[in-house]
């Protein structure tokens, strides 16, 4: 059984590497709470590369407009159809930013419409229990963005399985810190990542 | 008196002589040792340890010399040996004395031998031998005593009374705590300070301005009292109580010394140490506020305003400005000095003085240097006067040719060529010419086409600058040259290259490793440099082609190349929007630490870091503190701490202050633990706790 590797998707446009500390932080979280065999460092995989199929889970983030190449579109479509799980997070703090508009447009063009994921979905209870759905990030209320809490996540599902999980709650900012700094939090704000990954690996 | 009785008497005399000789050797040896230590003490003050060895060593030398001399003459105990000793010096006895001493000799032989001995005397040889044996040690002992007498009495006394100095510099060991003498100290500060006289009752520390008059009244001292301030004995006046009883009053006085010292009293009633701590009178502080910086004058004219601030702790006496002018050069210099605005300040503690220095009056010449400063003195007539000076300002008068030698580099010229017309504008001009061409004469068409061609060439050169600067070539890959001048060989070669050839040349020029099999992994096997420059290279060559057609007056044939150049420029602009990004660093998570399953061998228990090594002086002070605390108590401990404080006052004021608090606590009967702990920390450093969980510090 191979070890789980936290993969970050690299795409041609935009800033795919805007949250460089998230992989290490979530890897630390997985090791801390679960017995999943996990690699100590993450991997960067081009979205248009066949290497993408080596990773059942991929993290996708950025601030800037997203325009996929033809190879990236084809690869992403095949990835989701074959059982891959892409977690897309809008690194901006606004409602209708460049990333949100262009990324959702691209995803819908490739994979069909994004649908609201109900807050009683198994994703929210497969490891930790989040009764109110996706946990709120500090960036949703910090005055820089819309001052609105996004109550739901969106998803593209295939055969009852989540293929793309879309968030504009800015988990990229929320989780972008050194793992050692977790001890400074009263409640670990990366626990939701355990649910996402456990769900991705078990469904 | 028969022969045997005479022999016994001679033996007794010899035994007495041997004893005297041994005593003389012993005295000589002991005195020599003491003289040696006293001479060393006078030359270099011995530490207390070696000094206390003087008496034991002298005693050992005495006993050793005594024993050695006795052992060497041990034969004198035997009468036979004495008889033989006499026979050797009086040969006329012909062994009669030895034979008589033999127990087996009897009868008529005895009488015959007695008769022979009776006619012989040995008094003179005996006296001569004794005198010779005693002369050497007697002379040596006398010489040693003479040397000891010639050495400084203070040094001899310190060597001869080591306990006193051990008290002064070391812990008090085995001294019983006796009630200290009752003293009263009257301190009269120097008159210039304006401070009042004050009295201290039974103090442990007397602190006053240097030069103060200190008068001490010692009560209950008894008949005998000795006092020493540092190494100097003090004269004690007054009368004792008589018979060593209590109630006597003794007085002594001295001027507050310049450095801290221990005042030690020795009396029948007790002994006591008082720390004498002088407070120095600071020299005046002087700040020259004007002029506030050094300067170079082109001409030595005008007035230099002077301003200074003066301050002193007890009062200023006078203040003034000083200047020194040095003239000349190389090895010939002359100096002039002067004083400005001298004023008496009459004891003011702060003062400001202003003055003006007329440079014309100094008749300064080019090359002269003038130094300026402010000076003040205080009113210290006891140990001073103290003198304070300000920082020095320097004014130099420039020499005549000095400014001609300053090299000033001009700014580089602006290189922008704003006369270039854009490629889009050139196309519009060419299209307009082509539209007018049917109505124009051929020579006019050619002339106007060549005008467009010159602008095209100017724009091409700008593109060339960008390309070849990026490719690491010279800033301008295409050399500008005057009209009519033939292009150089390199330019001509480049002009004849196709875009593919030019790219190949650029590619080979930018391949990093000579033996590289292929360039960097870029799309279509291109290096990033070539990929970014390809559109500009295409534009460059298209401009060349368009220029050729324009040169021969064919704008319609030039236009496709001009449009191709514009399209290439547009592609290059879009390419410029791409930017290269580095890959983020790989962070390796310590999974074992996250799962609390790390290697315990790396963990350390919490503990204290060992203190760093102390310097010899601090180590000595720390050892003395430890020894004092372990060996003494009561007034002896107070005295030891006071002596330590005096030694530490100059270099370790924190330690001295903590010791002062400890002494105050001890004398007041309070718990001195905290003060002593602070003193220990001050001299030996604080211990530091180290964290016990290093795994949290950083990722491996």
Buried-state track A167-180, b at ≥16 Cβ within 10 A, e below 16: bbbbbbbbbbbebb
A23 CB neighbours in chain B (<8 A) are 587
Q: Which site among A13, A15, A26, A32 would you substitute to test the B interface, given the most B Cβ atoms closer than 10 Å to its Cβ?
A: A32
Query: Do residues B395 and B295 lie in contact, with contact meaning Cβ atoms separated by under 8 Å?
Result: yes
Cβ neighbours of A183 in B, within 8 Å = 696
- Decide if B276 contacts B214 (C-beta within 8 A): yes
Q: Which residues, listed in sequence order, are joined to residue B371 by a DSSP beta bridge?
A: B324, B394
Instruction: Give the closest of B585, B595, B699 to A31, CB-based.
Output: B595
CA distance A147 to chain B (A): 31
Chain A residues whose beta carbon lies within 8 Å of the beta carbon of residue B590: 40
Q: What is the rounded CA–CA span in Å between residue B34 and residue B45?
A: 15
pTM for this predicted structure: 0.37
The answer to whether A199 and A123 have CB atoms below 8 angstroms apart is yes
A118 touches chain B (CB under 8 A): no
CA A24 to centroid of chain Cα atoms: 14
- Contact residues on chain A for B584, CB-CB shorter than 8 A: 17, 20, 44
Average pLDDT of adjacent 10-residue blocks, chain B of 700 residues: 82 90 92 89 74 87 92 86 85 82 75 79 85 90 89 76 48 44 86 87 87 85 74 73 53 87 77 85 89 82 90 90 84 82 88 89 86 90 85 83 54 50 87 91 91 90 77 49 47 55 56 39 50 80 92 92 90 61 72 78 59 77 87 80 87 89 88 89 73 46
Distance CA A180, CA A178 (A): 5
* Cross-chain Cβ contact A31/B591 below 8 Å: yes
- Parallel, antiparallel or unpaired: strands A7-10 and A43-46: parallel
Cβ distance of B587 and A24 shorter than 8 Å: yes
Q: Is B349 helix (H, G, I), strand (E, B) or coil?
A: coil
3-state SS, residue B441: coil
| pLDDT attached to residue B556 | 92
First-last CA distance in chain B: 110
User: Up-side HSE of residue B90: CA atoms within 13 Å toward CB?
Assistant: 25
Residues belonging to chain B: 700
- Provide the token pair at B699: 């990722």
Q: Is A21 on the interface with B (CB under 8 A)?
A: yes
| Residue B167: predicted pLDDT | 43
pLDDT of residue A85: 96
Q: Are A141 and A122 in contact (CB under 8 A)?
A: no
Query: How much is the pLDDT for A105?
Result: 93
- pLDDT confidence of residue B374: 92
Which residues of chain A are modeled with pLDDT < 70? 1, 93-95, 141-148
Q: Which ipTM did the prediction report?
A: 0.81
Query: CA-to-CA distance for A112 and A106, rounded, in angstroms?
Result: 9
Contacts of B594 in chain A (CB under 8 A): 28, 31-32, 179
What are the residues whose beta carbons fall under 8 Å from the beta carbon of B440, sequence distance 6 or more?
B433, B448
Pairing verdict, β B271-279 and B261-267: antiparallel
Q: Retrieve residue A138's tokens.
A: 């500090």
Instruction: Give dist(CA B394, CA B294) in Å, integer.
Output: 5
CB contact under 8 A, B696 and A180: yes
Contact check, Cβ <8 Å, B587/A31: no
Mutate to test the interface with B, among A17, A28, A34 (most CBs of B within 10 A): A28
Can you tell me whether residue B456 is helix, strand or coil?
A: helix
**Helix and strand counts by DSSP (H, E) for chain B:** 21, 21
CB–CB of A31 and B594 under 8 A?
yes
Chain A interface, best mutation among B594, B695, B700, by max A CB count within 10 A: B594
Facing A40 at nearest CB: one of B584, B585, B589: B589
Cβ <8 Å between B591 and A40 = yes
Cβ–Cβ < 8 Å for B200, B184: yes
Question: Tokens at residue A110, please?
Answer: 């490739």
CA nearest neighbour of B429 among B567, B574, B566: B566
User: Per-residue DSSP letters for chain A?
Assistant: -PPB--EEEE-SSS-TTS-TTHHHHHHHHHHHH----B-SS-EEEETTSGGGGG-SEEEEEESS-----HHHHHHHHHHHHTT-EEEEEE-SSSSS-HHHHHHHHHHHHHH---EEEPTTSGGGTSSS--TTSSPPPGGGSSSSS-S-----EEEEEETTEEEEEEE-S-HHHHT-S-GGGGGG-SS-TTHHHHHHHHHHHH-
Q: Chain A, 31-60: which have a CB under 8 Å from a chain B CB?
A: 31-32, 38, 40-42, 44
């Amino acid at each position: 059984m191979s070890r789980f590797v936290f993969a970050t998707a690299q795409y041609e446009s935009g800033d795919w590497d805007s949250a460089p500390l998230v992989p290490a932080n979530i890897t630390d979280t997985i090791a801390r709470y679960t017995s999943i065999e996990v690699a100590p460092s993450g991997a960067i995989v081009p979205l248009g590369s066949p290497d993408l199929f080596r990773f059942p889970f991929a993290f996708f983030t950025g601030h800037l407009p997203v325009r996929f190449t033809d190879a990236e579109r084809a690869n992403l479509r095949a990835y989701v159809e074959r059982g891959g799980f892409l977690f897309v997070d809008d690194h901006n703090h606004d409602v209708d930013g460049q990333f949100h508009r262009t990324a959702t447009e691209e995803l819908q063009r490739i994979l069909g419409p994004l649908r609201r994921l109900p807050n009683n979905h198994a994703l929210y209870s497969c490891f930790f229990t989040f009764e109110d759905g996706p946990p709120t990030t500090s960036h949703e209320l910090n005055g820089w963005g819309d001052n609105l809490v996004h109550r739901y996540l969106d998803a593209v599902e295939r055969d009852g399985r989540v293929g793309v999980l879309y968030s504009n709650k800015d988990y990229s900012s929320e989780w972008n810190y050194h793992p050692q700094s977790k001890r400074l939090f009263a409640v670990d704000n990366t626990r939701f990542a355990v649910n996402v990954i456990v769900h991705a690996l078990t469904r | 008196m028969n022969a045997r009785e005479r022999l016994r008497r001679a033996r007794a005399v010899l035994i007495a002589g041997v004893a005297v000789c041994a005593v003389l050797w012993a005295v000589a040896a002991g005195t020599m040792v003491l003289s040696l230590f006293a001479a060393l003490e006078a030359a270099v003050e011995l530490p207390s340890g070696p000094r206390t060895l003087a008496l034991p060593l002298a005693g050992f030398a005495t006993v050793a010399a005594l024993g050695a001399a006795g052992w060497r003459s041990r034969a004198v105990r035997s009468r036979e040996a004495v008889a033989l000793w006499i026979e050797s010096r009086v040969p006329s006895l012909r062994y009669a004395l030895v034979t008589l001493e033999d127990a087996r000799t009897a009868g008529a032989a005895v009488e015959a031998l007695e008769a022979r001995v009776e006619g012989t005397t040995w008094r003179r040889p005996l006296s001569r031998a004794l005198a010779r044996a005693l002369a050497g040690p007697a002379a040596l002992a006398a010489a040693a005593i003479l040397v000891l007498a010639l050495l400084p009495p203070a040094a001899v006394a310190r060597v001869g009374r080591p306990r006193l100095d051990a008290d002064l510099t070391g812990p008090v060991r085995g001294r019983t705590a006796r009630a200290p003498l009752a003293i009263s100290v009257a301190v009269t500060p120097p008159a210039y300070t304006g401070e009042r006289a004050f009295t201290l009752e039974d103090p442990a520390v007397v602190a006053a301005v240097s030069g103060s008059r200190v008068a001490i009244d010692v009560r209950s001292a008894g008949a005998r009292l000795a006092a020493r301030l540092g190494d100097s004995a003090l004269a004690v006046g007054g009368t004792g109580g008589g018979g060593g009883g209590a109630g006597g009053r003794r007085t002594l006085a001295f001027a507050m010394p310049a450095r801290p010292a221990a005042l030690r009293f020795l009396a029948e009633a007790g002994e006591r140490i008082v720390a004498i701590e002088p407070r120095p009178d600071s020299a005046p502080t002087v700040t020259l506020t004007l002029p506030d910086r050094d300067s170079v004058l082109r001409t030595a004219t005008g007035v230099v305003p002077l301003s200074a601030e003066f301050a002193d702790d007890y009062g200023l006496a006078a203040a003034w400005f000083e200047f020194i002018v040095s003239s000349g050069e190389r090895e010939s210099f002359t100096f002039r000095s002067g004083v400005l605005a001298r004023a008496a300040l009459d004891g003011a503690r702060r003062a400001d003085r202003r003055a003006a220095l007329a440079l014309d009056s100094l008749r300064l010449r080019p090359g002269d240097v003038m130094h300026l400063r402010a000076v003040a003195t205080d009113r210290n007539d006891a140990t001073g006067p103290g003198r304070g000076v300000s920082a020095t300002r320097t004014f130099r008068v420039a020499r005549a040719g000095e400014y001609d030698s300053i090299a000033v580099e001009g700014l580089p010229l602006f290189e922008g060529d704003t006369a270039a017309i854009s490629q889009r504008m050139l196309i519009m001009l060419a299209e307009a010419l082509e539209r007018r061409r049917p109505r124009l004469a051929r020579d006019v068409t050619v002339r106007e086409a060549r005008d467009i061609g010159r602008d095209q060439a100017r724009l091409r050169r700008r593109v060339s600058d960008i390309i070849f600067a990026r490719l690491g070539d010279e800033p301008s890959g295409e050399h500008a040259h005057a009209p009519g001048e033939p292009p150089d060989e390199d330019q001509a070669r480049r002009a004849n290259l196709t875009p593919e050839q030019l790219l190949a040349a650029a590619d080979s020029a930018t391949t990093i490793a000579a033996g590289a099999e292929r360039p960097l992994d870029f799309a279509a096997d291109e290096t990033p440099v070539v990929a970014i420059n390809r559109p500009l290279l295409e534009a460059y060559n298209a401009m060349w082609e368009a220029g050729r057609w324009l040169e021969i007056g064919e704008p319609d044939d030039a236009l496709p190349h001009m449009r191709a150049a514009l399209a290439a420029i547009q592609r290059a602009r879009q390419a410029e929007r791409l930017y290269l990004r580095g890959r983020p660093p790989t962070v390796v998570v310590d999974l074992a630490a996250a799962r609390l399953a790390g290697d315990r061998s790396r963990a350390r228990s919490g503990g204290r870091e060992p203190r760093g090594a102390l310097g010899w002086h601090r180590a000595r002070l720390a050892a003395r503190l430890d020894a004092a605390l372990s060996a003494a108590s009561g007034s002896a401990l107070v005295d030891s701490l006071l002596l330590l404080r005096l030694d530490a006052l100059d270099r370790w004021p924190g330690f001295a202050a903590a010791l002062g608090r400890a002494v105050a606590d001890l004398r007041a009967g309070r718990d001195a633990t905290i003060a002593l702990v602070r003193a220990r920390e001050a001299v030996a450093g604080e211990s530091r706790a180290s964290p016990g969980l290093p795994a949290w510090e950083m990722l491996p």
